[in-house]
Structures are given as structure tokens and as C-alpha cells.
Amino acid sequence: MTTILLGDAPLGINDVVAVARGGASVAIAGEARSRMEESRAVVERFSASDRPVYGLTRGLGGRVVNEVNRDDRGDYSRIVVLARACGAGEPLPEEAVRAALFSRATGMAQGGAGVRPLIAETLCAMLEWGVHPFVPGIGSIGASDLALCANMALPVIGEGRAWFRGTLLDGADAMARAGIDVVELREKEGLALCSSNAVSVGQAALVIADLEHLLELMDGIVVLGFEAFRANPGPIDPRVVMARGAPGQARAALSLRHKLEGTVLFDPAEPRRVQDPISLRCVSHVHGSLRAAIDFATPNVTVEINGAGDNPLVLAADGDILSTGNFHTPAMAVAFDTLTLAMAQTATMAAQRIGRLLQNQFTGLPDMLTRHGTTRAGLGLLSLTSETLSKEIHLLGAPASLLDSSTYHVEDHAPMTWVAVRQARDAVSHLTRIAAAELIVAAQAFDLRNPPRHARVAGCLRDALRLIVPPLDDDRSMTGEVAAVAAAIADGAFRDCLGTEPQGYAPR
């Protein structure tokens, strides 16, 4: 099994996915261990000399002006975790908790947290043995995921609850069954466990990974629909695209052209229309805008995976500790708001393509893609389903970053990053279901069209779908089939049909 070393080299979104979903092992690199020990020594020197440091020798929030007595500092770390372990709502799924544990351990390995290596190693052991804390889904305002990370830290000190081998147990019991010792925290270590954006960062990495795959698949589904519609590929001609070259558009157009390899649609005599509806004609523009949004979001996540967002921050090389605002992630909040807005555009367009494929006046195929005429609805209700899913995404597109006030007089700005990430996560889920509906409809239209020559990707997607959903003859309920196809998309069942991502941008 792969082992990912923390603090050894820059890590990326794929590393988060490998740990959260693939069960990759995690360990602290030797250099990172030394860095953490040096930082810890700085913390202990500052504590011994009673130098004023936020959360170490002084209180938190508005109590920063109050001294924390030396004898109370160890217990204060424990109390910091307990008091901040608030929240509400359904618990986060296992993969999100694993992503968050990994993100917090990665941040600690940078050395800025000033904790003993033991703390990060305990998080790594929880990942290794499958101790997954109960973390409520609501409670972060994005000025660090304070309450959520505190819940995640409770089992470390033998408190709270955690799943172990499918059973929800008291935190101490879960740790004991896994053979992991609970930790008696020292000064500042409680704050370091809580004051992190690990929940937002971990989930954000999973969102981007899922969305990149989904967008690639949606390009393939568009190609299947192009074949069924006999669409005009003129708008993705490189000369047309590069006449403007909007962000992401060239890559989207290249992806579509690459997946159309083998089609006859590039023959000027093949498309049925000089100009198709916008939902087909402007795919590269809208899918390009989503690519551009991903480009904006991705570095905001990778910088958090590899950065030290602690407050206060230990600067071991200088023997200093400084208060910071590095826990504040407004750019990431704005990026994920943008991501959801771009998904809303993509969802609207996909829902409209479904509608056009179902209408005889646009396709020349049987209305609603049924051979049985007026008494049958065919796949018509999938148009309604996709429209309502797109509206759900529109509602999620209300920018969370606009809710930027806080309830505390000194902590008077909050970027609401976790809410932005959570909305993007939910939007991906809805968009996956729209993609499932479009795949079902496009495959039915493709079968009815039965083109003698077509793109390899189109035929592969149709064949892969038919392993899950048979062609529609007489009407039947499609609810379970949409769910089954959406689950298959999430599991990567159609990935092999897509081939490799094309490189560069060259004319056909």
C-alpha cells in the first residue's frame, strides 16, 4: 500500500483522495519531525518565560488581554478542545473526516503549529486503523473550522465519539480498540488541533477531484448527444475558438473534438442544421467557464494543503511566535462560490440539451424518444427531473462569502468558507444526477438514430450504460435507473470510455 510522507514534498489533491478514499498510509517524514521538535522547543521557551502569546500564555478571542496561569496551561489545552466542540446537523461522511484528518496532520508537519510530533502521529494512526470521529456538518464560519475540528479532536483526548469498524463508540473506547493511546495535551496543542481549516480543505479537495472527472464525462455525454442530434461541430473549430479564446474555452473545445474522433459530423454534409440551439452550440463556452472556475479553486486548495495556517505561528528558524491571520480563507470562499455558479450554468445547459433531444421538431426522432406515440411519456419526465435538479444548484449558487459577518466583537469578519465548500459539494451531487439523466436520454436517442459511423467515445458510453439501463421500450419508472447511473458515475464506471486528456490545442 502507498505511504504518503508528510512534510517531505508538496502534496496535492490526488494525495487527499488517496488517503480519504484509497486507504493510503500516512507517515511523518524525518525532516518534518525535526522541524516540529524545533518548533515545540520554541513554544516551551515562550511558555517558561511567560512571554505574551495568544492561546499560550494569554486567552483566546476577546480574552487575549487576560493571562493564562502557568499551572493551568496544560489543562487549558484540553478545555479549549472541549469548549469548542460544538456544531449541529448530520455527521460528515467517512471520506470527508479522513480528508480532514489528513489535512490537519499535513498542516502540523509544516512545523508552524508548535505541537509535538506525537499529535500528528496520533492523527496518522487514526487514519491507519480507521478511527473516524463524529464531526457535525454545521458549525464553521470559515475563520478556521474551529468547532468542527474540535469535534474531530475529541477522540485524541479520549472524549467525544468515533466510528471504528462500522460501530459508533465513545472516543476513548474507539481509540482503545484500535490500539491508539489517547494524548494528554500540553500547552498550545489544543488550540492547534482546533484552529485549522482542515475540514474545508479536505472536503474541497474531494469536490475538485469529483468535479474534474464529472466534467470530463459530461464532455463525453455531449459527444453522444451530438451523434444522436447530428449536431454541427463548427463552433468548436479551432479557428473559431481561438478567434476569442475565453478562459477554459480552448481546452473544452479540444476535449470535445478529441472525443468526437471517428465521427462523420465534421463532414459539412452531415450536420442537419447550419446553427444548433445554444445548449449544443455553446457547450465549449460553458464547460470552459467551469474549467476556468476549477483553475481558480485548485491553487486555493493546494496552498492550504501545503501551508501553515496556524494562529499563532511558530517560526522555529527565528525562535519566534507571531499572531497571524493565516487561518482566514476568503479567496477560497470566493473560489468555491464561483465554482458553484459555474456548475449552475453547466446544469442549466445540460437540462436544456435533454429537452432538445426529447423534442421531435429538433431531432426528427420520435417525440419523447418513444415509439409508442401519444399514450406514452417515454423519457419526457427526465426533462422535468433535470430542470428541478438545475434549480437546486441555482439555489446553492447564492454566494456564501457574502455572509461575511461574525458574532464576536474582535473576530468581526468571517469568510464562510465551509459553507461555500459544502454548497459546491452538494452542487456536484446534483450535477452528477443531471449527467446521469442526460446520458440515459442521449443513449436512447443514439439508439434510435443508429448512426452507421460514430465517435468511439459515443459508442463506448452507450455500451457501458446498457450494462446498467436497458433501452426504453414501454414506459417504466426511471427513478432507480437515474440513481444507479449517478452512483456508477461517482464510482468511475465510465472513465475507461474517455481515454486520455488531449494535450495542446491543434487543428484537426
249 in Cβ contact with 219 (< 8 Å): no
Rounded distance between C-alpha atoms, residue 158 and residue 168, angstroms: 14
- DSSP β-bridge partners for residue 496: none
The number of domains in the chain is: 2
Residues 257 and 180 both lie in one domain: no
Residues 242 and 163 both lie in one domain: no
- Does 321 reside within a domain? no
Average pLDDT over the chain reads 94
Domain boundary among 196, 226, 254: 196
Residues 140 and 250 both lie in one domain: no
Q: Could you tell me the three cell numbers for 418?
A: 465551509
367 in Cβ contact with 358 (< 8 Å): yes
CATH of the domain at 126: 1.10.275.10
The pLDDT assigned to 406 comes to 63
The pLDDT assigned to 508 comes to 27
Is the pLDDT higher at 51 or at 408? 51
- Does 483 reside within a domain? yes
135 in Cβ contact with 150 (< 8 Å): no
- Does 118 reside within a domain? yes
The pLDDT assigned to 66 comes to 84
* H or E element at residue 201: helix 198-229
Domain boundary among 163, 196, 229: 196
User: Residue 189's closest CA among 136, 153, 213?
Assistant: 153
> CB-based contacts of 310: which residues, under 8 Å, 6+ apart?
107, 112, 113, 114, 192, 195, 196, 324, 326, 327
The pLDDT assigned to 507 comes to 33
Residues 188 and 225 both lie in one domain: no
37 in Cβ contact with 44 (< 8 Å): no
Q: Which of 101-115, 429-443, 487-501 has the lowest mean pLDDT?
A: 487-501
Residues 115 and 249 both lie in one domain: no
Residues 145 and 240 both lie in one domain: no
Residues 225 and 87 both lie in one domain: no
In the block, cell 466534467 appears at 215
Residues 34 and 134 both lie in one domain: yes
* Cβ count within 10 A of residue 405: 10
DSSP annotation string for 454-475: --HHHHHHHHHHHTTSPPP-S-
- Does 508 reside within a domain? no
Per residue in 142-162, pLDDT (tens digit) is 889 999 999 999 999 999 999
pTM of the full structure: 0.95
- Does 205 reside within a domain? no
- Does 348 reside within a domain? yes
Residues 285 and 346 both lie in one domain: yes
Rounded distance between C-alpha atoms, residue 104 and residue 158, angstroms: 18
Residues 462 and 369 both lie in one domain: yes
Domain range for residue 88? 3-196
- With cut-offs at 50, 70 and 90, classify the pLDDT of residue 214: very high
Residues 263 and 344 both lie in one domain: yes
Domain boundary among 196, 226, 260: 196
Buried b (16+ CB within 10 A) or exposed e, 360-377: eebbebbebbbeeeeebe
Strands (E), 12-55: 25-28
Per residue in 84-106, pLDDT (tens digit) is 999 999 999 999 999 999 999 99
Give me the amino acid identity at 45. R
Q: Examine the pLDDT at 413 and tell me if it is beyond 60.
A: yes
- Does 506 reside within a domain? no
Q: Examine the pLDDT at 77 and tell me if it is beyond 60.
A: yes
Phi, psi of 197 (to 5 degrees): -100, 25
Per residue in 236-277, pLDDT (tens digit) is 999 999 999 899 999 999 999 999 999 999 999 999 899 999
- Does 211 reside within a domain? no
Residues 257 and 297 both lie in one domain: yes
* Cβ count within 10 A of residue 128: 18
CATH of the domain at 303: 1.20.200.10
Q: Examine the pLDDT at 504 and tell me if it is beyond 60.
A: no
